[in-house]
């Protein structure tokens, strides 16, 4: 396996830190410095320090609620920050391949499965910022920067912020007294494409390994391909954690006009890289959710010293 040099933004966020650990464990040289997206001097210094093979751009304001409440900051970070990364990469390390983390939320509501050809119609501020950033990445590819856009569907683990659905349920169950819990939940009569962070780690590693066979510009979905019932997941997670749980509906947790079912297709990504998710069944997924996160093919321990690249006011609101 060829050792690659990889620069990561948002390396202390949930996805960034696990991907960084997995890639470093495979022997790649990984750098994720603590530099903000609006620190042009700092980014210039870091990106010009070597000829990078890959730039993984994960830094973003990703909290749904925070983006809705702070749209200007969301656009500044997610859109203009991406423009900065593309411009500096093109100028300072033009041979690098940019990997941009977008979201499956850009698609128009459909019961799917959603493919890369499905129509887009983002409905949230977060999704709108990501679609605008995609346009910047695509334009940069036309101008010579090798680029890949990943429309990433939800991937989770119990170490993720409890502001996200399943980690929030886990947090409530963990605090249960006498193995009894009354869970505050939103709308559970829906199905969502949820994947394991370990599968996402493997996907990113396979992307690095397959890069030489990919085109100048690529657009891929990255998802589990399974529409999981949220009610079933809550019940099975409660059982696995040994908690007798009752459900209390909290209207404040409902989102207006929530689609009944959302699921993606990873077929295009699989054909290009050979990757397939391992955590297919609900039990496999939940076992991975509850278990440790193991770096991909890890020969050694890896550092947790990865920095966030985002404005300080956004860092506390959840980077991806």
Task: Give a yes or no: residue 66 inside a domain.
Answer: yes
Domain total in the chain: 1
**DSSP at 295:** P
Task: Give a yes or no: residue 232 inside a domain.
Answer: no
Pick the more confident residue, 2 or 237.
237
The answer to whether 141 and 150 have CB atoms below 8 angstroms apart is no
Task: Give a yes or no: residue 252 inside a domain.
Answer: no
pLDDT given for residue 312 in this prediction:
34
Share of the chain above pLDDT 90, in %: 79
pLDDT given for residue 112 in this prediction:
78
Domain that holds residue 105: 5-159+193-227+262-279+292-315
Q: What is the mean pLDDT of residues 142-148?
A: 98
Q: What is the mean pLDDT of residues 4-22?
A: 95
CA 114 to each of CA 60, 189, 268: distance values in angstroms, whole numbers, following the listed order: 24, 20, 11
Task: Give a yes or no: residue 168 inside a domain.
Answer: no
Task: Give a yes or no: residue 129 inside a domain.
Answer: yes
Task: Give a yes or no: residue 90 inside a domain.
Answer: yes
Both tokens of residue 25? 């464990």
Both tokens of residue 38? 């609006």
Model confidence band, residue 318 (pLDDT cutoffs 50, 70, 90): very low
Task: Give a yes or no: residue 59 inside a domain.
Answer: yes
* CATH number of the domain to which 68 belongs: 3.40.50.720
The answer to whether 84 and 46 have CB atoms below 8 angstroms apart is no
pTM equals 0.89
Q: What is the mean pLDDT of residues 23-30?
A: 95
Task: Give a yes or no: residue 184 inside a domain.
Answer: no
Model confidence band, residue 296 (pLDDT cutoffs 50, 70, 90): low
Residues 6+ apart with CB under 8 A from 180: 243, 244, 245
- With 60 as the cut, is the pLDDT of residue 227 above it? yes
Furthest C-alpha separation in the chain: 61
């Amino acid at each position: 396996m060829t050792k690659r040099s990889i620069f990561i933004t948002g390396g202390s966020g949930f996805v960034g830190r696990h991907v960084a650990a997995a890639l470093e464990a495979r022997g790649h040289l990984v750098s994720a410095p603590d530099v903000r997206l609006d620190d042009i001097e700092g980014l210039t210094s870091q990106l010009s320090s070597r000829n990078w093979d890959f730039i993984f751009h994960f830094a973003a304001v990703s909290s749904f609620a925070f983006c809705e409440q702070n749209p200007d900051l969301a656009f500044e970070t997610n859109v203009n920050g991406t423009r900065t990364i593309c411009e500096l990469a093109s100028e300072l390390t033009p041979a690098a391949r940019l990997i941009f983390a977008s979201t499956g939320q850009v698609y128009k509501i459909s019961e799917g499965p959603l493919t890369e050809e499905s129509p887009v119609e983002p409905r949230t501020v977060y999704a709108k910022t990501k679609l605008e950033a995609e346009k910047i990445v695509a334009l940069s590819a036309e101008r010579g920067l090798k680029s890949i856009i990943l429309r990433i569907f939800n991937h989770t683990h119990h170490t993720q912020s409890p502001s996200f659905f399943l980690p929030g349920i886990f947090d409530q169950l963990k605090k249960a007294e006498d193995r009894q819990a009354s869970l505050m939940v939103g709308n559970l009569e829906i199905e969502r494409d949820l994947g394991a962070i370990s599968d996402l780690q493997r996907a990113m590693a396979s992307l690095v390994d397959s890069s030489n066979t990919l085109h100048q510009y690529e657009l891929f979905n990255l998802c589990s391909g399974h529409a999981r019932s949220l009610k079933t997941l809550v019940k099975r997670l409660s059982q696995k954690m040994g908690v007798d749980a009752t459900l209390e509906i909290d209207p404040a947790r409902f989102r207006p006009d929530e689609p009944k079912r959302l699921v993606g297709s990873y077929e295009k990504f699989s054909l290009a890289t050979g990757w397939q998710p391992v955590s297919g069944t609900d039990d496999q997924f939940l076992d991975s959710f509850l278990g440790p996160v193991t770096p991909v093919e890890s020969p050694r321990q890896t550092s947790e010293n990865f920095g966030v690249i985002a404005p300080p006011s956004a860092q506390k609101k959840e980077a991806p």
